[in-house]
Structure 1
Amino acid sequence: MAKSRKRKPINQNLSAYLFLLPWIIGFLVFVLYPLFYTIILSFNNVVKDINGWNNTFTGLENYITAFVRNTNFTPLLIEFIIVELSYVPAILVLSLILAILLNTKIKFRSGFRLIFFFPVVVMSGPVLSQLGSSRATELIDVSSILVFRMIANYSDTLAGVLVGIFNNFSTILWFTGIPIVLFLNGLQKINSQLFEAAQIDGANSWQMLWKISLPNLKSTALVVGIFTVVQIAIFEINPMYAFIIRTINDNYTNGLGFAAAVVLIYSFVVLLFIVLIFFLLRERDKDVYKETLQEKQQKFVKRLQRQQHRHRYQNETVKEFVNRMIKRRKEKNHVE
Structure 2
Amino acid sequence: DKAKSTAGLYIHIPFCGRKCLYCDFYSKVPRTGEIEAFLDALGVEARLRNKGKFELLNYDSIFLGGGTPSLLSAAQIKSLFKHIRSHNQISPSAEITIECNPSSIQIELLKAYKELGINRISLGVQTFNDTHLEMLGRLHDSAEAKASFKEIKLAGFENISIDLIYGLPDQTIEEWRSDLAQAVGLGPTHISAYNLIIEPGTLFGKLYSQGKLELPSEDIQSEMYEALNNDLGVAGFGRYELSNFARPGFECQHNLKYWHLEPYLGLGPSAVSFDGETRVRNEANFDLYLKAAYDKEPPPHEDEMLEMEKLREEAIMMGLRLTEGLSISEMRERFGYDILKDKADAIRSLIDNGYLLLENDHLKLAPKALFISDEVIVRMI
Q: What's the TM-score, normalizing by structure 1?
A: 0.23
Q: Which has the higher contact order (CA 8 A, sep 6+)?
A: 1
Q: What's the TM-score, normalizing by structure 2?
A: 0.21
Higher strand content, 1 or 2 = 2
Higher helix content, 1 or 2 = 1
* Max Rg structure: 1
